[in-house]
Amino acid sequence: MNYLIQIKAFYDRLEVEPLKSSEIALWYALMSINNKTAWSKTFTVASSVLCQKSGIKEANFYKARNLLQQKGYIEWKSRTGNQAAIYHLPKLYNQVPTNSVDSHIDSWGDSSIDTSIDSSRALNKLNKTKQNDEDDGAVTRGDVIDKWTNLWSFPNAIARPEIDEWLKEFPTEVVDFAITIAGEHRVKASGALNYLRAVIEGWQKRKITTLEQAKKAADEHDKRMKSEYTGHSHNPNRTKETLPGWAQRDSDQPKAPAKKLSAEQQAELDERIRKLSDKNKKQEA
């Protein structure tokens, strides 16, 4: 399976036969999982996992899955008990017409070979060599989607079109690096799209088009932020905080000495104190 050509064929078909956003999201989720299994002819995955990765509710999942099968985008069959369903993704760019979906499913072979998304075998293949027609070591569109999925779950119907636009404007390795930056800064899923928008818009303004330029810009940004933080926290020339003028007058300036009472004034004061004391004693009694 060639991931890039498959997606191109998918969009070519959408121009003739549009799909709903839930159906598009589900197809992309299945493509991502099939990619992780190194394009196994069949694979199994729980419905709950597909709902989570596609961002659609369970009530819409079954309808979307059936419509995708009716239109020839996927093939699937259920298994007994609580076992996950078996899926097969036909090559949209090289399809062979069949008279019966069920008969084609029966020809898939032994379904006991479980390539479930829940198995570590499938997950461990994420960073290994994938069976596609891309050059070794090159970052593919599928790698970009996989990295987003691993960080924040499968891109929803809002994020996916923007990612596609970025991939049209920038080389895949540049978009992949932007997502890497967000991951290193531990950006949460709720803020991932806005964060990436800011990064991409910054690169657009600076006319950055290569991975080397993007890495240099990111390094400069990190150094600038570190410098600003250090300067703010440890600036030796910070202005010393001082008390306002009125407070300085009260605290710094010497107080005027108290005036000494005359004998007459002192006697009057003593008499007032005596009367006040007698009054308090009477109230207490």
Q: State the Cα–Cα distance between residues 63 and 26, nearest whole angstrom.
A: 11
- The angle, 0 to 180 degrees and rounded to 10, between the axes of the packed helices 172-184 and 141-152 is 20
Domain map (residue ranges) of the chain: 1-128, 134-233
pLDDT value at residue 137 = 57
pTM of the model: 0.41
- What are φ and ψ of residue 76, in 5° steps? -150, 160
| Residues 4-54: tens digit of each pLDDT | 889 888 988 888 888 998 899 999 999 989 998 889 999 999 999 999 988
Beta strands 85-88; 75-77: pairing state: antiparallel
Checking if the pLDDT of 237 tops 80, the result is no
| Residues 149-190: tens digit of each pLDDT | 888 887 887 888 889 899 999 999 999 999 999 999 899 988
Q: How many CB atoms lie within 10 A of CB 170?
A: 21
Q: State the Cα–Cα distance between residues 281 and 136, nearest whole angstrom.
A: 103
**Distance set, CA 275 to CA 168, 267, 269, 285 (Å):** 97, 12, 10, 15
85-88: strand order across its sheet:
43-45, 85-88, 75-77
pLDDT value at residue 255 = 54
CA atoms within a 13 Å half-sphere pointing along the CA-CB vector of 201: 7
Q: What fold characterizes domain 1-128?
A: Arc Repressor Mutant, subunit A (1.10.10)
